[in-house]
Amino acid sequence: MPDSMVPSLSVAINVNIDRNTIPIQVSARLYSEDNKLLSVSQPFVDEPVQSNNQQIGIATVYISGDSSLQSEGIVASYKLVFQLNKEALDHLEDVRKTNAKKDATLQFILSIDFMEIGIDVDHFALFAITGMSPNQFAVVTSAMLQARNNDLHFLMEKTHPSFALKQFKIKQPYTIPSSDWINDFVPLLGLGRYFIVEIPEGKRSLGHAWEILNEAEEAFRRWERDAVMTKCREVGQYLNRQIKKKFGKDSFTYNERWGRIYGAGNKGFTGWTSFALHKEDIKSSGTGERTYPEDDIKVTSSDAEAALFFTKLLIKYCEELLDEDS
C-alpha cells in the first residue's frame, strides 16, 4: 500500500447484504501458510453507497403482505488493511522460501457480525446523519422522501422477536506467484528489490554443503553478516576437500580449474570469505604494507549477499566436476 507509513497489504472485498440483514462489524485476520498470525485488520467502507454523509439503513418495515414492495439486496465494498511489522515480513519470506515454487501463500479469515431481521424489510434507504450539540437528541430521519414510514416504531414492538445477532466466518487462502511477489509486492513492502537468477538445481549430491548454505541464509535473514561470510567459507572448505580427494592435489582439475576459483591465502573465494575472521588483524596490522581507516574495515550487506550467490554457484560447479568421468 504505497500511501501507508508502514508496510501494509490492502485487500478489497464485497459483502452481499440481503434485505433482511444489516452488517454490524467486519474484521479479518491474516495468516501465513504455516498458520502463524501476521496481522489483524479493522476494515473501513471503501466506497460509500452514497455521498453527502449518508449511511445504509431501513426506511420501512412491514410484518406481512405485499411482496411486490420487497427489493433486492445491495453490495457493500470494504477495504481491509493489514499492517505488517518486520517480524511478520521476515516470517512471510522464510515460509515462502520453503515453497517449491517460491510462491507466497496468504490465508485470510474473514469475520462478519450482522443483525438478522426476523420481519420483512420493505426496502433499504439512506439515512441522513446530522451533527448535533451535546444538548440535542439525535433523531434519525429518512433521506428518501417517498418512504411511507420513517419513525421506526417497530423497534419498540414487543410482540414479535424481530432481531438476532449472528456471525459468519470464512477462511480463504490466496497464492501470489513468486514472479508477482518479487516484482510487485516486495519493493512496496520495503523488502528491497530482486533480480531473478535461474541456476539449474542439479542433483544436489553434496547435501552437507547445502545444509551449511541454509545456515548462512538464515544468518543473512538475521542480518548477521560476519556469520554469513564464515558459513560460506565453511562450505568452500568442504568443497575443496571433496575435489582434492577425488582428483588429487597435483591434478589439473584441482590446481587450475578448481584452484583458480577457490584460490589460496587471501585471494579467491577462500580469501574473500575469510575476511570476517581477520577484521581485527587488518585493523591493527593492515595487509602487507597497506593500512586502512578503521571504519572501512567491515562486512556489508552487499558482501554477505554476494557471498551467498557465489557459494550457490560454487556448490553447483563442484557437484558437476565430481560427476565428470564417474
Q: Report pLDDT for 145.
A: 43
Residue 187 falls inside a structural domain = no
Residue ending a domain, choose from 177, 206, 227: 177
In contact, 172 and 110? CB cutoff 8 Å: yes
Residue 36 falls inside a structural domain = yes
Which domain range does residue 173 map to? Answer: 8-177
Q: Report pLDDT for 57.
A: 45
User: Residue 319 and residue 321: Cα distance in Å, rounded?
Assistant: 6
Both 37 and 136 in one domain: the answer is: yes
Q: Report pLDDT for 277.
A: 86
Residue 192 falls inside a structural domain = no
Both 88 and 46 in one domain: the answer is: yes
Assign 281 a pLDDT band (cuts: 50, 70, 90): confident
Both 141 and 18 in one domain: the answer is: yes
| pLDDT single digits (tens) 70-121 | 445 677 777 888 888 888 888 888 888 777 788 889 999 988 888 776 655 4
Residue 186 falls inside a structural domain = no
SS3 at position 142: strand
| pLDDT single digits (tens) 179-206 | 887 777 777 777 655 555 556 666 778 8
Q: What is the mean pLDDT of the chain?
A: 75
Residue 296 falls inside a structural domain = yes
pLDDT of 156 above 60? no
Q: Report pLDDT for 144.
A: 46
CA distances from 56 to 18, 126, 127, 128 (A): 12, 5, 7, 9
Both 262 and 128 in one domain: the answer is: no
Q: Report pLDDT for 19.
A: 67
pTM above 0.95, yes or no: no
Both 112 and 209 in one domain: the answer is: no
Q: Report pLDDT for 186.
A: 74
pLDDT of 13 above 60? yes
User: Residue 239 and residue 269: Cα distance in Å, rounded?
Assistant: 12
Domains: count for the chain: 2
Both 113 and 13 in one domain: the answer is: yes
Both 220 and 302 in one domain: the answer is: yes
Both 262 and 129 in one domain: the answer is: no
DSSP secondary structure code for residue 2 in this structure: T
Residue 190 falls inside a structural domain = no
Residue 183 falls inside a structural domain = no
Q: Which amino acid is at 160?
A: H
- Calculate mean pLDDT across residues 255-260: 92
Higher pLDDT, 268 or 232: 232
